[in-house]
Chains A and B, each alone.
Chain A
Amino acid sequence: MKKENVMDAFTRGAKEGWDVGIYSMLPNVLMAFVLIEFLKLLGILAILGKVFAPVMIVFGLPGESIMVLVSSFLSMGGGVGVVTSLVTSGILNEHQVTILLPAIFLMGSLMQYMGRCLGTSGVQTRFYPVMFAICFINAIVAMFIMKIFS
Chain B
Amino acid sequence: MDEQKTEQAEPNKISKVPIIGYIVLFLGIIFFSGIFTDAKGIEAAFDFNAINGAFGKIKEGGTGAKNGFMFAITLVPPTMLSLGVVAVIEHLGGLRAAQRILTPLLQPLMGLPGVVGLALVSSTQSTDAGAGMTKMLREQNLITEEQRTVFVAFQFSAGAAIGNFLSTGIALFAFSTVPIIFPLCLIMVLKVVGANLMRLYIRKVVKLEEL
Contact = CB atoms under 8 A, between A and B. Distances in A.
Q: Do A and B come from one complex?
A: yes
B31 to A, nearest CB: 13
Given A17-B79, A101-B183, A117 B152 contact: yes
Interface stretch (A31-39, A45-53, A59-67): A31-39
Given A80-B169, A87-B175, A134-B194, A17 B156 contact: no
B178 A138 contact: no
Interface in B31-57: none
Q: Provide the main secondary structure of the chain B interface.
A: helix
Contact of A84 (B71, B80, B145, B152): B71
B88 A10 contact: yes
A94 B175 CA distance: 5
B117 interface: no
B2 interface: yes
A99 B190 CA distance: 15
A25 B166 CA distance: 12
Contact of A117 (B65, B131, B178, B197): B131
B131 A13 contact: no
Interface string A38-81: 00000000000000000000000000000000000001110011
Interface stretch (B9-17, B98-106, B107-115, B132-140): B132-140
B135 to A, nearest CB: 5
A101 B177 CA distance: 11
Given A17-B80, A121-B152, A33 B176 contact: no
Contact of A76 (B1, B88, B152): B1
B156 A134 contact: yes
Nearest to A145: B186
Looking at chain B, what size class is its interface with the partner chain? 35 or more
A18 to B, nearest CB: 6
Interface centre among A98, A101, A131, A142 (most CB of B within 10 A): A101
A20 B92 contact: no
A120 B68 contact: no
Interface of B: 1-2, 4, 62-65, 67-69, 71-73, 75-76, 79-88, 90-92, 127-128, 130-132, 134-135, 138, 145, 148-149, 151-153, 155-159, 161, 164-165, 167-169, 171-172, 175-178, 182-184, 186-187, 190-191, 193-194, 197-198, 201, 211
Interface of A: 4, 6, 9-26, 28-34, 37, 75-77, 80-81, 83-85, 87-88, 94-95, 97-98, 101-102, 104-110, 113, 116-124, 127, 130-131, 134-135, 137-138, 141-142, 145-146, 149-150
Considering the complex of A and B, which 8 residue pairs feature the smallest CB-CB distances, nearest first? A33-B68, A13-B87, A17-B80, A9-B91, A120-B131, A21-B76, A17-B83, A13-B84
